[in-house]
Structure 1
Amino acid sequence: MGLSSTTTDQATEWSFTQRSLHALLYGYTRFYQGGHWESSSIPATGPAILACNHVSVLDPLFLVASNCRMISFLVAREYYDNAWTRHLLEQTYSIPVRRDRRDVGALLQARRLLEDGRVLGIFPEGGINRGQTQKGLAWLVRESAAPVVPAHISGARQGRSDLATWLRRQRPLLRYGVPLHFHRDADAAEVLGATMSAITTLA
């Protein structure tokens, strides 16, 4: 499922499948995991880059469940090998990324997503490749002029396996910070420094 001019963004525009998945994730994160979150600071409309720390495989689920806008993520390509996660990622129009090299195609897809006024989720601490992810974040900020919304998850951690993490009950807390705005000529160090500082401040 790729991006198109008919790709839905607001919850009122989601398909039945997307609404059902969101309800399922909300129930799992809120009631099974005991998650709590503050009100999201993602703008109601327009492009935005959601930048969050990365503590476990569950992080994207908390971000999706706590928002009423579609969040598309840059995701390691191997997660598409599992039928369940592939279906979930396709429903959120997420973008597969290669770990072994700089994936220019994925960055171009991400830029197009932001140009269409959508929300891109990214984990600048790593998960795919830390250096690649941080450089990609800075490039996308300069290319799109989209605000960066910092977020921080605490109270959760990765288990010995993804399945163990899914099954283990935790009590995570998700906090959102004030959106950061950068000039198009901002250098990578400025973008990354301010973003990581804002995420850390939320801890």
Structure 2
Amino acid sequence: MSRLYRVGKFLCRSYLRLFYRVEIIGKENIPNDGGVLLCSNHIHLMDPPLVGSFIKRQVCFMAKAELFEVPILKIIIPKLGAFPIRRGMSDRQALRTGLNLLKEGKMIGIFPEGTRSKTKELGEGLAGVGFFALRSDANVVPCGIIGTYRIFSKLTIVYGEPIDMVSLRQERASAEMATKKIMEGIQKILTENQKV
């Protein structure tokens, strides 16, 4: 973990603690080592800092390619471990980068819906997340963000138990099937914790 990432994590955590009532559930479900595919719902621009700031390991987020064209961000984001994905098309370079990171034992963060939900309801997941889950031996950890980003409101982030992907890998299931299973895991977290 780079010094820049540590500093950024500290600043984001401090900001989130100052302006929101943040509750973290299930940090123990994140493996301490080995490849991890962290899959979360997506409701706000602040989701990546929220998901990554309160856990020990560094999260390498897959982010939309447009962010890497913004003058300041294009310098900072890669140094934080993020890598670009071109939305609306099959981005083979992003898939290769993600697989390589997982095989190196790193944790990558993905928002399977591909964009923020305007209704706060979980949308359909894209096949790319299923591809990562099937083509690697990474632990797949579902994550749910519950609440709103209104100042001083409560935000709960729940890290679920890793999803068992063994049978789907053995059956050579489709990426769509794997994605469906992952989205069901995220939805289960959201449903069970709505009143938290």
TM bin, normalised by shorter chain, reads: 0.7 to 0.9
Residue in structure 1 matching 2:146, options 154, 166, 175: 154
Q: Secondary structure at the match of 2:154?
A: coil
Quick check: 90-99 or 108-117, which moved more? 90-99
CA positional deviation for 1:169:
4.8
Q: Percent identity?
A: 26
Residue in structure 2 matching 1:182, options 165, 168, 185: 165
- Write the letter of the residue equivalent to 1:150: P
CA positional deviation for 1:193:
2.4
The equivalent residue for 1:136 is 128
Cα root mean square deviation, aligned: 2.2
CA distance in 2, matches of 1:77, 1:33: 29
Q: 1:39 to 1:144 in 2, by over 3 A?
A: same
Give the 5 Å matches for 1:12-91: 14-40=1-27, 41-91=29-79
Tell me if structure 1 keeps the 8 A contact 2:26–2:160. no
Q: 1:84 to 1:156 in 2, by over 3 A?
A: farther
Provide structure 2 residue ranges, at least 5 long, that are not aligned to the other structure.
117-122, 191-196
CA positional deviation for 1:20:
1.1
Q: 1:39 to 1:30 in 2, by over 3 A?
A: farther
CA distance in 1, matches of 2:61, 2:24: 19
Aligned residues: 179
- Write the letter of the residue equivalent to 1:197: E
The equivalent residue for 1:118 is 106
CA distance in 2, matches of 1:91, 1:79: 13
Residue in structure 2 matching 1:196, options 174, 183, 189: 183
CA positional deviation for 1:137:
1.0
Q: Secondary structure at the match of 1:142?
A: helix
- Write the letter of the residue equivalent to 1:134: L
Residue 173 (str. 1) matches residue 156 (str. 2): yes
CA positional deviation for 1:182:
1.1
CA distance in 2, matches of 1:83, 1:145: 36
CA positional deviation for 1:88:
4.5
CA distance in 2, matches of 1:122, 1:101: 16
CA positional deviation for 1:93:
1.1
Measured against aligned partners, the alpha-carbon deviations of 1:7-53 in whole angstroms (never above 9, x if no partner) come to xxxxxxx3332221111011012222332211422100000100101
CA distance in 1, matches of 2:155, 2:72: 23
- Write the letter of the residue equivalent to 1:180: I
Tell me if structure 2 keeps the 8 A contact 1:72–1:120. yes
Tell me if structure 2 keeps the 8 A contact 1:25–1:65. yes
Tell me if structure 1 keeps the 8 A contact 2:87–2:114. no
Q: 1:88 to 1:102 in 2, by over 3 A?
A: same
Q: 1:63 to 1:87 in 2, by over 3 A?
A: farther
Measured against aligned partners, the alpha-carbon deviations of 1:45-81 in whole angstroms (never above 9, x if no partner) come to 0001001011111111111112111101111011123
Provide structure 1 residue ranges, at least 5 long, that are not aligned to the other structure.
1-13, 158-164
Give the TM-score of the pair, scaled to structure 2: 0.82
Q: Secondary structure at the match of 1:35?
A: strand
